[in-house]
């Protein structure tokens, strides 16, 4: 699980499925660990379904 901490103190929790998409999860984790997503904006949030940012 990945927890994203927002500036307002709220959190977004992401559940990853490496058994279904191992390369996608590995790539995402690599980018997270490099800080790639730090400071990026979420453009769309649908609670309980998806987030979209970039």
pLDDT at 54 over 80: no
Q: Tell me what pLDDT residue 20 has.
A: 98
Between 45 and 16, residue with greater pLDDT: 16
Query: With contact defined as beta carbons under 8 Å apart, do 12 and 6 qualify?
Result: yes
The full set of domain ranges for the chain reads 2-53
| Cα 6 versus chain centre, distance | 11
Q: Give dist(CA 14, CA 34) in Å, integer.
A: 18
Map tokens 């970039």 to a residue. 54
Q: Give dist(CA 4, CA 37) in Å, integer.
A: 10
Please write the tens of the pLDDT for every residue from 19-31.
Answer: 999 999 999 999 9
- The angle at the Cα of 18, spanning 14 to 23, to the nearest 5 degrees, equals 110
Phi, psi of 12 (to 5 degrees): -120, 125
Please write the tens of the pLDDT for every residue from 34-48.
Answer: 999 898 888 898 988
**How would residue 3 be classed by pLDDT, with cut points 50, 70 and 90?**
very high
């Amino acid at each position: 699980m990945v927890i994203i901490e927002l500036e307002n103190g709220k959190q977004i929790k992401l559940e990853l499925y490496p058994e279904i998409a191992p390369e996608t999860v590995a790539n995402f984790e690599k980018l997270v660990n490099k800080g790639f997503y730090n400071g990026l904006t979420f453009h769309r949030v649908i609670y309980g379904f998806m987030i979209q940012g970039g």
